[in-house]
Structure 1
Amino acid sequence: MRRLLGLIIAAASLLLAGCGADPLYKQEGYVFGTRVEVSIWGLPQQDAARHVAVILADLDRLNAKLHAWQPSDITRLNAHFGRNESGNADTELIALLKQAKDYEARSDGLFNPAIGGLVTAWGFHRDTFSPVTPDPVTLAILLERKPSLADVEFGDGGVVSSRNPAVNIDLGGFAKGWALDREAAYLRKNRVYNALLNIGGNVLALGKKGNEPWTIGLQHPRQPQAMATLALRDGEAIGTSGDYQRYFIKDGRRYSHLIDPRSGSPAQTMEAATVLAPPSREAGAISDAATKPVFIGGIGHARHYAQRFGISEVLIVANDGSVYITPALQSRLKWLIQPPHLYRLH
């Protein structure tokens, strides 16, 4: 009887300990030159930690593989293109390049991962950058050559070539979103259905945080806090491009890393563009890539380019702080900082 009573007490103690355990596991890292945060709900802490370790290791691998200015598969491929030579890429990189090529076509070339030469000319291909403007002659030459992923061709056996030696690939415009899709697929494959992946503000939600949706903040482009919160639905991904992430100020003018391929100069159309991609296998990549034509194309074309990517929920912060937003997204936001002016995005 005493033994039975002892077993009951021990079992009850374990049950209470389990009830008291934190169902949320969260870990941060630093990859792709930005902060990464992975949150998993409802798993034993040890299991969640193991999955997060796999994800962070894979992101480190992708960062080393896709780096635009440190030695990587991308820099080696660019070196071959610059010498009018063919290079080789594995199946993963080829799939990524083909996806980027499709997105470039959808955006009328405003999302253009082949303009790494322009990004270098503006000084953004380095870990730290100073306020310098490029030589006008250099810009003119690069613009005349019109590098594009349309110039890139794929052959048998992983051979990749470019008809244009000015092609210099920089996948920073959608690599973070692409990585979101990859890591979300890993979690689903391993039956992890409630998680939040955040790579530098590109966020993808799986399931819920217990009985509540995953709720995120939308960064204000000119203040250090969030301007609104949004509850994400299962499978949705959100991305933002802004002139406050990588930039310098010279002579009172702000220059960001968001280069307009048409002018060769940083786009100065707005402060920030946010898009919410519906659930799909490419939700992360779409939420990242689509922000570029929305930002660069300007407020008047934002809805058009969003629709090209199947997106109906868009938010624009104009240069004067005014907010333009689609009704579908406005109905879901909770404002923390009320915009000075709020307009419907047509």
Structure 2
Amino acid sequence: MQRRTLISAALGSALTGVAGWGLLQPPPQAGTIVRGWEAQPGMRLYTGADLAFGTTIAIQVLHDNQRQAELAIQDGFHEAKKIDALMSIYSESSQVFQLNRDGRLCQPDPHLLRVLQETVRLSTLSGGAFDITVQPLWLQFTKAAAMNTLPSPAAIRSAKALVNWRNLSIDRHEVRLHKPGMSITLNGVAQGYAVDLALAAVRQRGIRHALLDTGEFISSGNKAPSHDWMVGVQDPRRDDVLTAVLKMDGRSVATSGDYETIFTPDFVHNHIFDPATGDSPLELASVTVAAPTGLQADGLSTALFVMGSAKAMSIAAQLDNVDVLLVDKRGKTWMTPGLRTTPA
């Protein structure tokens, strides 16, 4: 599972590559917690880093008790790493790996069931544009990329024949793939779900102010009195430029873009697949979603990317407390009015 490093975060006026780490200071090493500046009398910022989803994840909390802040950060990381271990497509001990290997999984974990149920909802909402069974397409493209080429039309047709979310059955006793050769990926939802669980764990320690980054962002409270947490949305074609800086309002923010994993330098073929074509969608370069939960924001960002700008804006208008920022491959942008922005 690879992190989609598509959003940078801002601390004060210094935009950062990872949440809360200034351009002029290195991020803390994974496994460490750094005691930071005093945001207000008695309240300090504590920043921790750890490894999950194949990258560095981060948690910042503002609190008046160092020990409670450290425990909250550790609890948050524990929850995120638990989801990584459960839903990785690479680890042989994960339930997703076992499902893909065997075609069935008995006694699925309740967290896995929760996420799978959300993917069914997203697939239904998007008319199949969101489909976790696209993993055979990913396998064909990565196999071809190792030989500096693209998969043949026949290889794409063969993989595409295995893609259909309706051929996945889910209940609390068993998850089953109904066609030999099918496989799933939860890379479009797992990190969002992880950030939800991590925030819940942080709040259990009495933390009111926090910003969490598992590859998707979520916030609670404020960075400092009268100062919001902020995240910057990366320009899809220039990694040192921001399309927008969003003020966090307690919702989660997730971005899907065509530039994180590419199979051709023109971004036409990338890691996001349209189940209807067996290849990457051609219109959009990035989709950023603000939604009540990380799970919802993460999944919607992929679904709306596949659906394209017109359908994405229509769907966003129908959903409660959901806002979007779209950027197409020519740089044209669309943004719903509920996003709170500040100059980049």
TM interval, shorter chain, is 0.7 to 0.9
- Say if 2:46 is the partner of 1:25: yes
Q: Structure 2: how far apart are the matches of 1:315 and 1:155?
A: 35
The aligned amino acid for 1:160 is V
SS in 1 for 2:51: strand
Q: In structure 1, what is the Cα distance between the partners aligned to 2:209 and 2:81? A: 23
Q: For residues 343 and 68 of structure 2, what CA distance do their matches in structure 1 show?
A: 36
The whole-number CA distance in structure 1 between the counterparts of 2:232 and 2:318 is 26
Task: Give the SS at the match of 2:233.
Answer: strand
Give, in whole Å, the separation in 2 of the partners of 1:168 and 1:145: 8
CA apart distance, 1:309: 4.4
Partner of 1:192: 207
Indicate if the aligned counterparts of 1:147 and 1:168 stay in contact, CA closer than 8 A. Answer: no
Q: Which residue of 2 aligns with 1:79?
A: 101
**Any conservation in 1 of the 2:75–2:198 contact (CA below 8 Å)?**
no
**How far 1:195 sits from its partner (Å)?**
0.6
Query: Equivalent residue of 1:89, what SS?
Result: coil
- Work out whether 1:265 is the aligned partner of 2:279: yes
Asked whether the 8 Å contact 1:80–1:87 carries over to 2, the reply is no
Equivalent residue, structure 2, for 1:231: 247
- The answer to whether 1:208 aligns with 2:222 is yes
The 5 A counterparts of 1:97-116 are 97-116=116-135
Higher RCO structure, 1 or 2 (CA under 8 Å, sep 6+): 2
Partner of 1:334: 342
Partner of 1:39: 60
Instruction: Check the 8 A contact 1:131/1:249 in 2, yes or no.
Output: no
Among 78, 87, 92, the alignment partner of 1:66 is: 87
Task: Choose from 295, 298, 303 the match for 2:305.
Answer: 295
Residues 243-298 of structure 1, C-alpha deviations (whole Å, 9 max, x = no match): 11122325x55421111111111222211111111x3xxx1111111011211111
Amino acid at match of 1:133: L
* 18 and 295 in structure 1: CA distance in 2 versus 1, 3 angstrom threshold: closer
- Contact 1:106–1:309 at 8 Å: present in 2 too? no
1:107-140 C-alpha deviation (Å, 9 max, x unpaired): 2111111111111111189xx9674312322211
Which of 158, 163, 170 is the equivalent residue of 1:154?
170
Deviations 1:41-66 (CA, angstroms, capped at 9, x unpaired):
12422221122122223322321221
Q: Deviations over 1:156-192 (max 9, x none)?
A: 6x32223333431100001111111111222233322
Give TM-score scaled by structure 1 length. Answer: 0.80
| 3-state SS, counterpart of residue 192 of structure 2 | helix
Match for 2:289 among 256, 272, 275?
275
User: Is residue 169 from structure 1 mapped to residue 191 from structure 2 by the alignment?
Assistant: no
| Cα drift, residue 38 of structure 1 | 0.6
> Who is 2:236 aligned against?
221
Unaligned 5+ residue runs, structure 2? 1-37
| Compared CA separation, residues 303 and 44, structure 1 to 2 (3 A) | same
Distance in 2 (CA, whole Å) between partners of 1:19 and 1:308 is: 40
Cα distance in structure 2, aligned partners of 1:20 and 1:190 = 20
2:70: which partner in 1?
49
Quickly say closer, same or farther: Cα 1:22–1:194, change in 2 above 3 A.
Answer: closer
Structure 2 residue aligned with 1:285: 295
Cα deviation for residue 18 of structure 1 reads: 12
CA RMSD across the alignment? 2.6
Deviation at 1:225, TM superposition (A): 3.3
User: Counterpart in 2 of 1:317?
Assistant: 327
Query: CA 1:189 to 1:227, structure 2 compared with 1: closer, same or farther past 3 Å?
Result: same
Aligned to 1:249: 264
Matched, 1:123 2:142: yes
1:61-87 CA-partner distances (Å, limit 9, x unpaired): 321221113322111111221xxx564
Seq. identity, %: 24
Query: Could you say if the C-alpha distance between residues 19 and 299 of structure 1 is closer, same or farther in structure 2, counting changes exceeding 3 Å?
Result: closer
Question: Structure 2 vs 1, CA of residues 43 and 136 (structure 1 numbering), >3 Å: closer, same or farther?
Answer: farther
Label 1:77 to 1:135 Cα distance change in 2 as closer, same or farther (>3 A). Answer: same
Name the larger-Rg structure.
1
**Partner-residue secondary structure (3-state), 2:284:** coil
Letter paired with 1:38? I
TM-score under structure 2 length normalisation = 0.80
Identify if the C-alpha distance between structure 1 residues 276 and 20 changes in structure 2 by more than 3 Å, giving closer, same or farther: closer
Q: Match of 2:9? A: none
Q: Find the counterpart in structure 1 of residue 17 from structure 2.
A: none
Q: What number of residue pairs does the alignment pair up?
A: 304
Kept in 2, the 8 Å contact 1:106–1:308? The answer is no
How does 1:87-102 map onto structure 2 within 5 Å? 87-102=106-121
In 2, Cα distance between equivalents of 1:176 and 1:25:
22
How far apart in 2 are the matches of 1:166 and 1:108?
A: 23
Structure 2 counterpart of 1:7: none
Q: Equivalents in 2 of 1:301, 1:18: separation in Å?
A: 43
Give SS of 1:271's match: strand
